[in-house]
């Protein structure tokens, strides 16, 4: 075995008994650089727009592959600082464009442990404890979605995914395997684009899209559409739409699906965590009537990406994902009692994303999670109040979840678009955009439980200032 040439040392590993000793000084460097980058940025987004960000990043990152390495301290310091300085920071109260959550510090700390141990969820011999934890947590979360009576054969279950997109893909895949390749997806115009892409990817007919002029999938309109269609049908409902945060009438839609013999999938990527809040849980009445439910804890669940789930009412519903690869789950290994994990995802190598979720659930409990959910829903109501109090601003509607659409009264669409871009370029506020009632609106998606009434007021002042320019 060769010894490394002079000047080259073998970098230490993160795992094992001494991994923490190697990590400690590196983490100190990372934490300092995170802090300094955020302080230098001083706002939710780097000022100066794409050109300035790219120039600074190039200076830090190039040469990307030098002949002689800069060493761990220098590489971490320079690149973490550049990443932090150039970040869109969802922890800043004026970063409110997307379902882009500020992760909890405790979840990020847990994710570090997951990275250091690098368990891979495709076989028991790569993740003995993590696989037990995944089974416990996914079943507990599936129980939240499907709380009804069960037997050993009818216990609900869930699989971890990379987010709402993969969960919706899996939902359509499971439905196609159950009902055949002529399965017709039927959804509202407000349905997330991932459903259309999933139908395309899976070779299903193009989804029938029902207009949603009132922002919701109307049960009577759905009934009329289903009556006119033949063959196997899958309706997709949404609990928390991307643009307005509205929740479809889940019970009424489930009634229509039952009467028409259609399967139902509900995309609760956004609204799912209302399950934790006794105050707001009733908004999800009827969620458990769906044959599959998408959840996504990297939205209203304060997890670092990725933390998606797909829940089903019975473990057996996941059977189409079963798969054997001799090196991972040979029959004799499975018969000898080694858990078979390969059928819990379409992926092979897979991060233990469950770990940060497990730590969060245990640390906060139901009450802690409910407090976070309630707090951001309160923030959205307060922002709506503040908009309504300003004659120069128009509110689209009272928020259902944490999305607030507003615009300067009487402004043309191009002024809304230009103000949004000006705020991005200044780095002072990150707002989204949404088209509703055929007009362009600012979209504030409030996921930061630490945002104060003063922060919300300042956000509106920034918009008003930007619009006047
Ligand atoms: C309703 C809805 N479903 C699915 C998704 C996709 O989730 P992800 O980006 O985690 O794949 C989103 C993303 O915003 C969403 O709003």
Residue 396 predicted with pLDDT over 90 = yes
Q: Would you call 119 helix, strand, or coil by DSSP?
A: coil
7 C-alpha to center of ligand 1: Å? 48
Query: Best of 242, 244, 245, 273 to mutate for ligand 1, by most ligand atoms within 8 A of CB?
Result: 242
Atom number in ligand 1 closest to CA 308: 10
349 C-alpha to center of ligand 1: Å? 23
Residue 188 predicted with pLDDT over 80 = yes
For the ranges 18-27, 131-140, 148-157, 226-235, the lowest mean pLDDT is seen at: 148-157
* Ligand 1 neighbourhood includes 238 CB (under 6 angstroms): yes
468 C-alpha to center of ligand 1: Å? 33
* Ligand 1 neighbourhood includes 265 CB (under 6 angstroms): no
Residue 468 predicted with pLDDT over 80 = no
* Ligand 1 neighbourhood includes 441 CB (under 6 angstroms): no
C-alpha 254/C-alpha 156 separation (Å) is 18
Query: Best of 101, 103, 160, 164 to mutate for ligand 1, by most ligand atoms within 8 A of CB?
Result: 164
Residue 349 DSSP symbol: S
Residue 38 predicted with pLDDT over 70 = yes
Query: Best of 165, 170, 301, 432 to mutate for ligand 1, by most ligand atoms within 8 A of CB?
Result: 165
pLDDT in the model for residue 469: 65
By the 8 A CB rule, do 82 and 37 touch? yes
C-alpha 38/C-alpha 85 separation (Å) is 6
| Strands annotated E in 88-156 | 95-96
Structural tokens at position 225 = 């559409």
**pLDDT tens for each residue of 100-129:** 999 999 999 999 999 999 999 999 999 999
* Ligand 1 neighbourhood includes 164 CB (under 6 angstroms): yes
C-alpha 356/C-alpha 105 separation (Å) is 10
Task: Place 221 in a pLDDT band, splitting at 50, 70 and 90.
Answer: very high
* Ligand 1 neighbourhood includes 408 CB (under 6 angstroms): no
pLDDT in the model for residue 70: 96
pLDDT in the model for residue 148: 84
Indicate the average pLDDT of the chain.
97
Strands 263-268 and 308-312: unpaired
* Ligand 1 neighbourhood includes 146 CB (under 6 angstroms): no
C-alpha 141/C-alpha 158 separation (Å) is 7
Please enumerate in sequence order all residues whose Cβ is within 8 A of that of 204, keeping only pairs 6 or more positions apart, or say none. Answer: 172, 176, 181, 183, 184, 185
| Element housing 240 (H / E) | none
* Ligand 1 neighbourhood includes 248 CB (under 6 angstroms): no
pLDDT in the model for residue 411: 97
* Ligand 1 neighbourhood includes 184 CB (under 6 angstroms): no
* Ligand 1 neighbourhood includes 303 CB (under 6 angstroms): no
Task: Place 233 in a pLDDT band, splitting at 50, 70 and 90.
Answer: very high
Nearest CA owner, ligand 1 atom 7: 164
Strands 430-436 and 95-96: parallel
**pLDDT tens for each residue of 423-450:** 999 999 999 999 999 999 999 999 999 9
146 C-alpha to center of ligand 1: Å? 21
Half-sphere exposure for 460 (CA within 13 Å, toward CB): 25
242 C-alpha to center of ligand 1: Å? 7
Residue 284 predicted with pLDDT over 80 = yes
247: closest CA among 224, 272, 264? 272
Nearest CA owner, ligand 1 atom 16: 242
C-alpha 158/C-alpha 288 separation (Å) is 13
* Ligand 1 neighbourhood includes 243 CB (under 6 angstroms): no
């Amino acid at each position: 075995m060769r010894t490394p040439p002079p000047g080259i040392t073998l970098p230490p590993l993160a795992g094992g008994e001494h991994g923490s000793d190697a990590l400690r000084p590196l983490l100190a460097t990372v934490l300092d650089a995170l802090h300094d980058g955020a302080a230098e940025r001083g706002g939710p987004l780097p000022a100066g727009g794409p050109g300035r960000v790219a120039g600074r990043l190039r200076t830090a990152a190039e040469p990307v592959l030098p002949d002689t390495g800069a060493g761990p301290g220098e590489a971490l310091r320079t690149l973490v600082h550049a990443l932090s300085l150039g970040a869109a920071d969802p922890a800043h109260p004026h970063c409110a464009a997307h379902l882009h959550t500020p992760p909890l510090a405790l979840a990020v700390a847990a994710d570090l442990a997951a990275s250091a141990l690098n368990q891979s969820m495709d076989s028991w011999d790569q993740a003995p404890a993590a696989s037990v934890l995944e089974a416990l947590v996914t079943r507990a979360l599936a129980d939240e979605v499907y709380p009804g009576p069960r037997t050993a054969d009818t216990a609900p279950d869930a699989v971890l995914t990379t987010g709402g997109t993969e969960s919706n893909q899996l939902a359509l895949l499971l439905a196609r395997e159950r009902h055949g390749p002529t399965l017709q997806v039927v959804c509202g115009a407000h349905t997330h684009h991932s459903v259309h892409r999933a139908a395309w990817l899976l070779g299903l007919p193009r989804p029938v899209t029902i207009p949603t002029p009132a922002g919701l999938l109307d049960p009577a309109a759905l009934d009329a559409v289903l009556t006119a269609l033949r063959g196997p049908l899958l309706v997709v409902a949404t609990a928390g739409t991307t643009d307005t945060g509205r929740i479809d009438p889940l019970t009424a839609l489930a009634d229509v699906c039952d009467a028409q013999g259609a399967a139902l999938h509900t995309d609760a990527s956004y609204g799912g965590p209302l399950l934790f809040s006794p105050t707001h849980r009733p908004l999800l009445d009827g969620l458990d009537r769906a044959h599959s439910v998408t959840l996504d804890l990297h939205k209203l669940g304060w997890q670092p990406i990725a933390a998606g789930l797909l829940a089903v009412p019975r473990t057996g519903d996941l059977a189409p994902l079963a798969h054997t690869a001799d090196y991972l789950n040979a029959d004799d290994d499975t018969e000898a009692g080694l858990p078979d994990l390969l059928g819990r995802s379409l992926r092979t190598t897979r991060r233990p994303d469950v770990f940060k979720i497990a730590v969060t659930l245990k640390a906060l409990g139901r009450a802690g999670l409910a407090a976070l959910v309630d707090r951001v829903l309160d923030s959205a109501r307060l922002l709506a109040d503040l908009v309504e109090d300003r004659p120069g601003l128009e509110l689209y509607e009272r928020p259902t979840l944490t999305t607030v659409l507003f615009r300067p009264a009487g402004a043309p669409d191009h002024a809304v678009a230009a103000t949004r871009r000006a705020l991005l370029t200044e780095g002072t506020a990150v707002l989204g955009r949404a088209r509703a009632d055929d007009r362009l609106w600012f979209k504030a998606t409030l996921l930061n439980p630490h945002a104060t009434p003063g922060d919300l007021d300042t956000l509106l002042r920034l918009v008003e200032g930007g619009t006047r320019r």
